[in-house]
Amino acid sequence: MKLNVKNETSRLRAVVLGTAESTGGIPAIKEAYDPKSAEHIKAGTYPKDEDMLIEMEAVRKVLEKYDVQIFRPKIIDNYNQIFTRDIGFVIDDKFIKANILPDREQEIEAISHVMDQIGKDNIIQLPEDAHVEGGDVMLHNNHIFVGTFYGKDYPDYITARTNTKAVEYMKELFPEKKVVSFNLRKSNNEPRDNALHLDCCFQPVGKNKAILYEGGFLDEKEYQWLVDFFGKENIFEITRDEMYDMNSNVFSISEEVVISEMKFKRLNAWLRKNGMTVEEVPYAEISKQEGLLRCSTLPLIRDEK
């Protein structure tokens, strides 16, 4: 398989879609990886496998409608394998294996049948001290946008998933690209003030447009850099509650087609107003785990522009 991903919006040809086949049921609060999951565990509203299976099936049908080749992880009983974006990501023709939370290491083994088709020379394993998850890595042709957390208290945040060492390593790996990092707001306790990944507060869509949440960035200058880069007129600003609902975590099949949650009325209207086809799916149950459509997809091949 010849990998090719240079941005978030070129025509999608092949993807790994996660699975909710056997997630292990409701975890203990101490096992929650993020504050939104913990919130729903406490409230007794944590999502059931049968509901999440329906949601993921809706996405699968949309992908098939657009003739996208779909790979799925091998099922590991009682193990959450929904968020494939966390375990790896493709830049150009290279597959970067993420250094994720130790409890989740089996997830990458479950897509070994995909990795075997790539070839060892095109698979990169980061150094152990370079932490990165795919939700923090956003491609935009000659730019790589990386969400991180600069604070010395990085180890204290289970919600801090990508460190500055990973940012520096990405610069070494891709010297021809401009790697731009963003210091994200983190909270172990309040999901409305926690940008778990960069795609929880920002994502390019369509033709040079973007979804953006100012409150997800700790540095006003870094947020403003994105506003200036895309142009204020091309940006859809989301609110704190819309960020909590994961409005920036849609998934592009192409510059013209976006998969979005059916309840994102304001966003979906804006996407359509800007000439995009919006394929609406139910995904509110999966969002209770602080992830949405981009989180549960791992693109392998997109067309060249």
Q: Where are the beta strands (DSSP E) in the chain?
A: 12-17, 69-71, 88-91, 94-97, 123-125, 137-140, 143-148, 178-183, 202-205, 209-212, 235-237, 251-252, 257-261, 277-281, 297-302
- Number of domains present in the structure of the chain: 1
> CATH number, domain at 286?
3.75.10.10
d(CA 145, CA 143) in angstroms, rounded, equals: 6
Tell me how far apart the terminal alpha carbons of the chain are, to the nearest angstrom.
19
81 inside domain? yes
Q: DSSP letter at 303?
A: -
Contact 59, 259 (CB under 8 A): yes
Q: Residue 141 has what pLDDT?
A: 97
Q: Which residues contact 246 (CB under 8 A, 6 or more apart)?
A: 200, 261, 287, 290, 291, 292
3 inside domain? no
22 inside domain? yes
Q: Residue 161 has what pLDDT?
A: 87
Q: Which residues contact 18 (CB under 8 A, 6 or more apart)?
A: 56, 72, 73, 81, 82, 83, 84, 296, 297
Q: Residue 85 has what pLDDT?
A: 94
155 inside domain? yes
Place of tokens 């996407």: 271
Q: How many CB atoms lie within 10 A of CB 109?
A: 12
136 inside domain? yes
Q: Which domain holds residue 206?
A: 12-302
Q: Residue 34 has what pLDDT?
A: 87
1 inside domain? no
Four-residue CA torsion sign, 69, 70, 71, 74: negative
4 inside domain? no
Q: How many CB atoms lie within 10 A of CB 150?
A: 15
196 inside domain? yes
Q: What is the CA radius of gyration of the chain?
A: 18
User: pLDDT per position in the chain (305 positions), as tens?
Assistant: 999 999 999 999 999 999 999 998 898 888 887 889 899 999 999 999 999 999 999 999 999 999 999 999 999 999 899 999 989 999 999 999 987 666 677 888 899 999 999 989 999 998 888 999 999 999 999 999 999 989 887 777 878 789 999 999 999 999 999 999 999 999 988 999 999 899 999 999 999 999 999 999 999 999 999 999 999 999 999 999 999 999 999 999 999 999 999 999 999 999 999 999 999 999 999 999 989 999 999 999 999 86
Q: Residue 100 has what pLDDT?
A: 67
